[in-house]
Amino acid sequence: MLLLLIIYLAFISLGLPDAVLGSTWPVAYVDLNSSLEFAGVISIVISAGTVISSLLSSRLIHRFSTGKVMVVSVLLTALALLGFAFSQSVWTLVLLAIPLGLGGGAVDAALNNFVALHYKSKHMNYLHSFWGVGATSGPLIMAIYLNQDQGWREGFEVIAAIQFALVLVLLLSISLWSNVKTRHSAESSESPHLISNTMAFRIKGVKLQLLTFFCYCSLEAGTGLWAASFLITVKGVEPTQAAFWTSMYFLGITLGRFFSGFIADYVKEENSVRVGIFTILLGVVLMALPGSLVLVKLGLVLVGLGCAPIYPNTIHLTPKRFGEQASQTIIGLSMATAYVGTTLIPPLLGLIAVNSSFQVLPMFLLFFVVIMLWSSQRLRQF
């Protein structure tokens, strides 16, 4: 249980920086003499780093252990976020985005597989709800400082300080990770060996899982990055309020995952995923409706609630569907594919929106939720 609490803290840390760029950028780009769409460039670099570290995660963990990979990864994110606070150029942010992405991807892949192997479905949902705690807290912390002159820098300093505190906690807990893994290995009849990315990719059904994660993370990241800009430019919402409702989107994910964890012992994981997808669909329809700002805000929250069960339950099913030996590699591939979507789609959406209107956001969400519905239904066969 002590290790589980530390894992929860680590996922709060993982979520903290994820939503900060989108809610900060409408103010920060002015101070940095940049443009609104340049957030997409920074997002590309962050996501590229997560792709690389996700693909390497199985090899790194096989060689160095989960605990050590966690310490180094969170340290990278802490240093990068501290650098964001003192950056005077957008190109400095681009450079710092590299370690931020590398650290985040390794934490994501390592923790997801560790929990999928060693803990029940409810713990996986609770784990991702704690990611939502971090993702919700990040914009809220920023909202406190945004009204101050260049206050976004102080916001990044606070978030970096939280990350450095977690590095210390992880450093003191390295032995706990090894103890759990040793106990699990003693109970397992399979001898551990490394499954390559190529071998995992050829396993039947893996491609459907990769497509599901591509669509999911494209949708989630696109919403998180551009929701504030959508509310400001299309609906006329003030920047502070836009940051607040971006937080509410992530709060929807957080509360939804707490609820998913609560009912995990009574509802099949596949059914939770299906309900989540249809909830997103309802939220997208409300966001697309003209007129009432209340319905748009409600739709944004519903999109967050619908996102809640999809990621953790699909991850937790991975060892059951494809076997424990292949799970770390498949989860690493899933994270990499997901972040390819995160890398390509939100910047593309930003480019399209800047040259037309952010009114395209609901259409973007609708496209990906329909594909995700199809791929997740096919995946139920495995």
The DSSP result for 185-200, as a single string, is HHH-SSPP-PPPHHHH
In which band, very low, low, confident or very high, does the pLDDT at 123 lie, cut at 50, 70 and 90? confident
Find the mean pLDDT for residues 108-133.
83
10 closest CA partner among 155, 110, 143, 125:
110
Q: How far apart are CA 281 and CA 297, in angstroms?
A: 15
Distances (CA, A) of 10 to 57, 107, 364: 17, 8, 31
- Tell me which residue has tokens 């995660």: 57
Q: Are 99 and 49 in contact (CB under 8 A)?
A: yes
Q: How far apart are CA 127 and CA 108, in angstroms?
A: 11
Find the mean pLDDT for residues 79-93.
91
Q: Are 25 and 36 in contact (CB under 8 A)?
A: yes
* 159 CA to centre of own chain: 17
Q: How far apart are CA 189 and CA 192, in angstroms?
A: 10
The full set of domains in the chain, from first to last, is 2-176+197-379 (1.20.1250.20)
Ranking 13-27, 70-84, 155-169, 283-297 by mean pLDDT, the lowest is 13-27
In which band, very low, low, confident or very high, does the pLDDT at 210 lie, cut at 50, 70 and 90? very high
**Considering the chain, what percentage of its residues have pLDDT values greater than 70?**
96
209 closest CA partner among 380, 15, 368:
380
The confidence score (pLDDT) of residue 192 equals 55
